[in-house]
Structure 1
């Protein structure tokens, strides 16, 4: 079985829905780095991120039939799966208990080891350039929500801004991102 070198999104989705192994390999080869970048920013620890990435690809494989192209791009759908899986993992009781039992130097050391590579992992898809086109206050919200895993409530508390304002700004930021991304098509 020879590998696939280029697939249009529509063809990739169709092949994944048919459970084509080569399409899954293509998906992994072309998207794993970007998804890993998002997951590691939320999870912070390589071993945990590896677990989450495995879970993300299993979910994509299992639930590809629920993907609706009318609601958005495949890339957006898999990014949301990765982000939500990472947030769920971090918020799980076992991880929270393990984090409480870990010494501070261990946590700091792990973050220092991974921070430099995360931005390059995510940026290989060029999304950093897109984010840089947003106003600074919008960019901060998107980074906190999608890369650091904060909920809107947590962002409001952290920035000391009313929740309604956070929701309005986030919506504005997402609409602007949508407009910017259309220019890249």
Structure 2
């Protein structure tokens, strides 16, 4: 079986729903970098991120039949899977217990050192040009999007962290997402 070199989104979805292994390989080759970027912004630790990205692709493969093209694009659907899987992972009891069981020097050294190393790597490799798009948002809107979608905060946690009402967070996030849609449509 020879590899696939180009597929339209519609063809890719059709083949994935038929459980075509070559289509899955194409999907992985073309989207793993972008999805890994989302995962590393939330998970931060490379070993955990590798585990999470594997879970993400298993979920995509197992649930592709549920994907509805009328509700959005495949890429957006996969980004949401990556984001939600990453958040679920860092909030899991096993990860939280592992972090609690580390000695204080280990926590300080590994978290601080690794955080900066990963952020440097992510900043150097903007997999999908999203930083350029986010730069077009108001700074306070951009911060909300980063906290919600890259750092894994819930809207309540954002409200508490920034000392603003929950309703304000919800309104601003919605406005920011609508503005992002306009920006992305202008770029197409």
TM-score scaled by structure 1? 0.96
How many residue pairs align between the two structures?
Answer: 184
Deviates more, 1:108-117 or 1:149-158: 108-117
Alpha carbon RMSD of aligned pairs, Å?
A: 1.0
Q: Which residue of 2 aligns with 1:150?
A: 153
SS in 1 for 2:152: coil
Instruction: Classify the secondary structure of the residue corresponding to 2:6.
Output: coil
Q: Does the 8 A contact of 1:40 with 1:49 survive in 2?
A: yes
CA contact (8 A) 2:17 2:64 kept: yes
Aligned-partner Cα distance in 2 for 1:23–1:98: 37
Q: Which residue number in structure 1 is paired with residue 162 of structure 2?
A: 159
Name the SS of the counterpart of 1:86 in structure 2. helix
Mapped to 1, the partners of 2:175 and 2:12 lie a distance apart of: 31
**Which 4+ stretches in 1 moved above 4 angstroms?**
none
Question: How far apart, CA to CA, are the structure 2 residues paired with 1:128 and 1:6?
Answer: 26
Within 1, Cα distance between the matches of 2:138 and 2:116?
A: 28
The DSSP-based 3-state class of the residue aligned with 2:156 is helix
Contact 2:37 2:127 in 1 (8 A): no
Q: Could you list the runs of 5+ residues in structure 2 that have no partner in the other structure?
A: none
With 96-105 and 154-163 compared, the bigger mean Cα shift is at 96-105
Gaps in structure 1 of 5+ consecutive residues:
none
